[in-house]
């Protein structure tokens, strides 16, 4: 069942300090993370934030290094806004929204060094390609945070295939994909001159601007501001503090899921 609220109603409530689902401005909806849902992939994770549902799958294959980084493996991130996730998503080549989503998730993972790409070197002209694919299964806002959580968890719990005699061994006794950090993101929206965390689908319909801040334990690793509205420098500073604060719990959820 879908619920729609008019923009006026949302803004009227915000001005009274309320949100449509009863949350405080800087509360997340309930978050659940599970890993290993798709055991044939090297890594996988499903994340639910409220009614938003995404799944991430990791595949690792033999590829060639980039010419400027001959001793490093590759990270290739994709995202699909599947038409089964929302009335608004269409069949066809990836939309600008899907490409933005994939690139923002990719930047966070890459910048935070979640994967240790140097350890993905096999031999001259041969490295491991790590494919992370994000599948959006149900849309109800804040795909950035859900996708980053899913991608990070899938990577941290991924198996590492072996390369033996020109063959990739994907089953049996395998080690783990070499990882070195955890990244999470917090996405904020502004509307009616209020700042809120984790915008729902209804809220995203009426927000003026959006900002995603990806952090590790202490530092900012990627940011993306979206839509036509704006934020003041003060607001950005305030939101960075909040994002680092919120990342504690998100990181904890990931660690709990991967069993650390």
Partner 1 sequence: MAKSEKPELMVNGKRLDGRMSGDLRHVRIESGVLKNAAGSAYVEWGNNKILAAVYGPREALPKHTSDPEKAVIKCRYQMAPFSSLEEHGRTGPNRRAIEISKVTKEVFENVIIRENFPGSEISIFVEVLQSDGGTRAAGITAAAVALAGSGIPMTDIPYAVSIGKIGEHIVIDLNKIEDNYSDADVPIAISPRQDKILLLQMDGNMSKEEVSKALSMAKESGKIITKLQTDALKAPYLKISEKYKNGAPSMPQQPQEQQPQQPK
Partner 2 sequence: MQRIVVPGEKLEDKPLRIDEAFIDNGKTYSTIMSMYDDEKKVLIPLEGLWYPRSGDSVVGVVQEDKFNVLIIDLDSPYRGLIFAKDTNEDLVSGDIIEATVKELDKTKTVILGRPRKLAGGKILYVKPSKVGRILGKGNSMIKQLSADTQTYVVVGMNGLVWMKGGKIDLCTEAIVMIQQEAHTSGLTDRVKNLLEMGK
For partner 1, the closer of residues 137 and 160 by Cβ is 137
Please give the backbone phi and psi of residue 234, each rounded to the nearest 5 degrees, phi first: -60, -45
123 binds partner 1 (CB under 8 A): no
**HSE-up of 132 (CA within 13 Å, CB side)?**
32
Residues 22-51 that bind partner 1 (CB under 8 A): 22, 37-41, 44, 50-51
Candidates 75-83, 185-193, 203-211, 249-257; binding stretch for partner 1 (CB under 8 A)? 75-83
Tokens 């069949």 belong to residue: 91
Closest CA to 121 of 62, 68, 59, 71: 71
For partner 2, the closer of residues 1 and 233 by Cβ is 1
Residue 77-106 contact track with partner 1, rule CB under 8 A, x = bound: -x-x-xxxxxx---x-x-------------
3 binds partner 2 (CB under 8 A): yes
8 Å CB contact between 69 and 127 = no
Handedness of CA 21, 149, 147, 39 (dihedral sign): negative
168 binds partner 1 (CB under 8 A): yes
6 binds, among partner 1, partner 2, none (CB under 5 to 8 A by kind): partner 2
140 binds, among partner 1, partner 2, none (CB under 5 to 8 A by kind): partner 1
For partner 1, the closer of residues 85 and 223 by Cβ is 85
Strand pairing report for 126-138 and 52-63: antiparallel
Binding residues for partner 1, total number by CB under 8 A: 42
Please give the Cα distance from 153 to 191 (Å, whole number). Answer: 31
8 Å CB contact between 78 and 57 = no
Closest CA to 140 of 31, 220, 216: 31
- Applying CB under 8 A, among 71, 167, 217, 241 the residue interacting with partner 1 is 167
8 Å CB contact between 47 and 59 = no
205 binds partner 2 (CB under 8 A): no
Please give the Cα distance from 111 to 124 (Å, whole number). Answer: 25
Minimum distance of partner 2 from residue 18's CB (angstroms) = 10
8 Å CB contact between 243 and 213 = yes
8 binds, among partner 2, partner 1, none (CB under 5 to 8 A by kind): partner 2
For partner 2, the closer of residues 12 and 71 by Cβ is 12
Q: Which residues bind partner 1 (CB under 8 A)?
A: 1-3, 20-22, 37-41, 44, 50-51, 53, 55, 57-59, 61, 78, 80, 82-87, 91, 93, 129, 131, 133, 135, 137-140, 167-168, 170-171
């Amino acid at each position: 069942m879908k619920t729609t609220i008019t923009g006026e109603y949302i803004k009227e409530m915000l001005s009274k300090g309320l949100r449509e689902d009863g949350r405080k401005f800087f509360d997340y909806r309930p978050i659940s993370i599970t890993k290993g849902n798709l055991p044939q992939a090297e890594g996988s994770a499903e994340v639910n934030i409220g009614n938003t549902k995404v799944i991430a799958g990791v595949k690792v294959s033999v590829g060639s290094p980039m010419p400027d980084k001959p001793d490093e493996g590759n990270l290739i991130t994709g995202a699909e806004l599947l038409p089964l996730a929302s009335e608004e998503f269409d069949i066809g080549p990836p939309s600008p929204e899907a490409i933005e989503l994939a690139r923002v998730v990719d930047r966070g993972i890459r910048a935070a060094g979640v994967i240790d790409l140097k350890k993905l070197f096999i031999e001259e002209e041969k490295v491991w390609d790590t494919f992370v694919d994000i599948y959006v299964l149900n849309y109800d806002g804040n795909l950035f945070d859900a996708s980053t959580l899913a991608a990070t968890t899938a990577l941290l719990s991924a198996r590492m295939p072996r390369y033996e005699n020109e063959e990739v061994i994907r089953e049996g006794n395998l080690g783990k994909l070499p990882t070195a950090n955890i990244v999470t993101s917090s996405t904020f929206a502004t509307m009616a001159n209020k700042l809120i965390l984790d915008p729902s689908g209804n809220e995203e319909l009426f927000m003026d601007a959006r900002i995603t801040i990806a952090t590790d334990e202490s530092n900012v690793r990627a940011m993306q501001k979206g839509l036509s509205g704006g934020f003041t420098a003060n607001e950005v500073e305030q939101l960075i503090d909040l994002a680092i604060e919120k990342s504690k719990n998100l990181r904890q959820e990931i660690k709990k899921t991967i069993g650390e």
